[in-house]
């Protein structure tokens, strides 16, 4: 072996090809092939498996700013996708350090094996700080992520695919990740050395509209005393009311809220008119704002992480929250009947609303803390308090 051979660089086995034609080389992991999507970055230091199975990321390629992704492996308990047939819809993942063998007693597989089993393409060896800085400066780019073990790529075809992808604006992705059938949920939250529990006696009947709902949201609703029935995103008001709910939950989900709102807002309006308590998060928050006369806008870089400070105007407190959204409610578009309750302390964007005089409210962030801090668990109690008061007044 010559000195030149000893120092030769292996050919790249994975590429990130941006819509502007830029090419970033790295080492492939997970599934082979290529996929197109929007690149965002997530600043969370924990919970990568929950992030990778969050349906709100459908159509996106996630760049993790924390360098050591995969170090605790994966397991079958931390998956957040409810609709396993549709999977989470994530297009790919970008990490800095190579994936190592897991170091955690709960691990059942390495991250790269797990990614391959779920058809997710990954790339490592990337300067994720530089990529994050690019996104912050120029906004979220469309891109193709590709993995070929032999290092052979049709670069022209990949550039063309990246340049021609239309982006998330105008896309209704909720129907792609939503449940296709009505089903009941009875699992409660995870406990140390006990795993997940089962629901006991329930005080309230709740219908959850699934725009891409996460499992831990359903667990917290169940633990709060709710008998939960999950309906597809396209459910009508009549289909919801047939279950005689005490309250309706509007879930998180992916895509452009204006596109999903073309069919969802009519249902939400009808439910509000019936006086039923309504609680929404993330896409559900945006759906509620649209139903109440507001509008939504595409964000420059979005909010993705487990460390976002939010000010609650109703209590004066600051919560550290988990967020995952690329669209936001335009607070200036809200009618006088709607009060802004929460704002981001990062950029002042809207993070919560309530309908004055009605048991109807929503937040932009994820109070279920999967992953993320638990500062916002009180919102589930707020929802049950509204249902209890509404039942007493009936």
Q: Phi, psi at residue 28, to the nearest 5°?
A: -80, 150
Q: Which of 285, 304, 308, 366 is catalytic?
A: 366
pLDDT confidence of residue 87: 67
Residue showing tokens 């609650």: 312
- Residues belonging to the binding site for L-glutamine are 56, 253, 255, 283, 286, 324, 326-327
Q: Which of 38, 49, 50, 368 is catalytic?
A: 368
Q: Phi, psi at residue 273, to the nearest 5°?
A: -65, -25
Does the annotation count 366 as an active-site position? yes
- Residues belonging to the binding site are 56, 253, 255, 283, 286, 324, 326-327
Average pLDDT by stretches of 10, the chain with 394 residues: 42 96 97 98 96 97 97 95 78 96 95 96 97 97 98 97 98 95 96 92 97 97 98 98 98 98 98 98 98 98 97 96 98 98 98 98 96 93 98 92
Does the annotation count 164 as an active-site position? no
pLDDT confidence of residue 132: 97
Instruction: Look up residue 85 and give its DSSP letter.
Output: T
pLDDT confidence of residue 10: 72
pLDDT confidence of residue 3: 34
- Please state, in angstroms and rounded to a whole number, the distance separating the CA atoms of residues 15 and 24: 6
What is the widest separation between alpha-carbon atoms in the chain? 86
Q: Which of 282, 285, 325, 351 is catalytic?
A: 282
Q: What is the DSSP string of 332-377?
A: GG--TTEEEEEEETTT--EEEEEETTSSEEEESSBTT-SSS-STTT
The tens digit of pLDDT for each residue in 329-339 reads: 999 999 999 99
- Exposure b/e, 83-111, CB count within 10 A at least 16 = b: beebbbbbbbbbbbbebeebeeeebeebb
The tens digit of pLDDT for each residue in 264-300 reads: 999 999 999 999 999 999 999 999 999 999 999 999 9
Residue-range domains of the chain with CATH = 10-164 (3.50.30.20), 174-393 (3.40.50.880)
Looking at the chain, which runs of residues are DSSP E strands? 14-18, 23-30, 33-42, 60-64, 92-94, 121-124, 142-147, 183-185, 187-191, 195-198, 204-210, 226-232, 247-250, 278-281, 296-312, 318-329, 338-344, 350-355, 360-363
């Amino acid at each position: 072996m010559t000195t030149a051979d000893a120092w030769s660089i292996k050919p790249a086995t994975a590429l990130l090809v941006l819509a502007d034609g830029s090419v970033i080389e790295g080492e492939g992991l997970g599934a082979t092939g290529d996929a197109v999507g929007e690149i965002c970055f997530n600043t969370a230091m924990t919970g990568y498996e929950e992030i990778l199975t969050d349906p709100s990321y459908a159509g996106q390629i996630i760049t993790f700013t924390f360098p050591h992704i995969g170090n605790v492996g994966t397991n079958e308990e931390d998956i957040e996708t409810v609709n396993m047939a549709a999977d989470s819809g994530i297009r790919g993942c970008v990490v800095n350090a190579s994936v190592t063998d897991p170091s955690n007693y709960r691990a059942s597989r390495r991250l790269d094996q797990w990614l391959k089993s779920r058809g997710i393409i990954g790339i490592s060896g990337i300067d994720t700080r530089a990529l994050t800085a690019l996104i912050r400066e120029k906004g979220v780019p469309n891109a193709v992520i590709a993995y070929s073990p032999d290092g052979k790529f049709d670069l022209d075809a990949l550039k063309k695919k990246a340049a021609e992808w239309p982006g998330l604006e105008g896309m209704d992705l909720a129907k792609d990740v939503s449940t296709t059938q009505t089903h009941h949920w009875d699992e409660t939250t995870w406990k140390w050395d006990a795993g997940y529990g089962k629901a006991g006696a329930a005080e309230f009947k709740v219908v959850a509209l699934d725009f891409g709902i996460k499992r831990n949201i359903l667990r917290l609703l169940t633990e709060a005393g709710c008998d939960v029935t999950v309906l597809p995103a396209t459910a009508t008001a009549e289909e919801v009311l047939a279950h005689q709910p005490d309250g309706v939950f509007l879930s998180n989900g992916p895509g452009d809220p204006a596109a999903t709102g073309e069919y969802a807002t009519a249902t939400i309006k009808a439910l509000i008119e019936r006086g039923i308590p309504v609680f929404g998060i993330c896409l559900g928050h945006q759906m509620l704002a649209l139903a109440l006369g507001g509008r939504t806008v595409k964000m420059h870089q979005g909010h993705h992480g487990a460390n976002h400070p939010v000010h609650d105007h109703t209590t004066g407190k600051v919560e550290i929250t988990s967020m995952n959204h690329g669209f936001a409610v335009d607070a200036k578009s809200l009618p006088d009947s709607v009060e802004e309750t929460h704002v981001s302390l990062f950029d002042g964007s809207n993070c919560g609303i309530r309908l004055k005089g009605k048991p109807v409210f929503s937040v932009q962030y994820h109070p279920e803390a999967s992953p993320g801090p638990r500062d916002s668990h009180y919102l589930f109690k707020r929802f049950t308090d509204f249902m209890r008061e509404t039942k007493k007044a009936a």
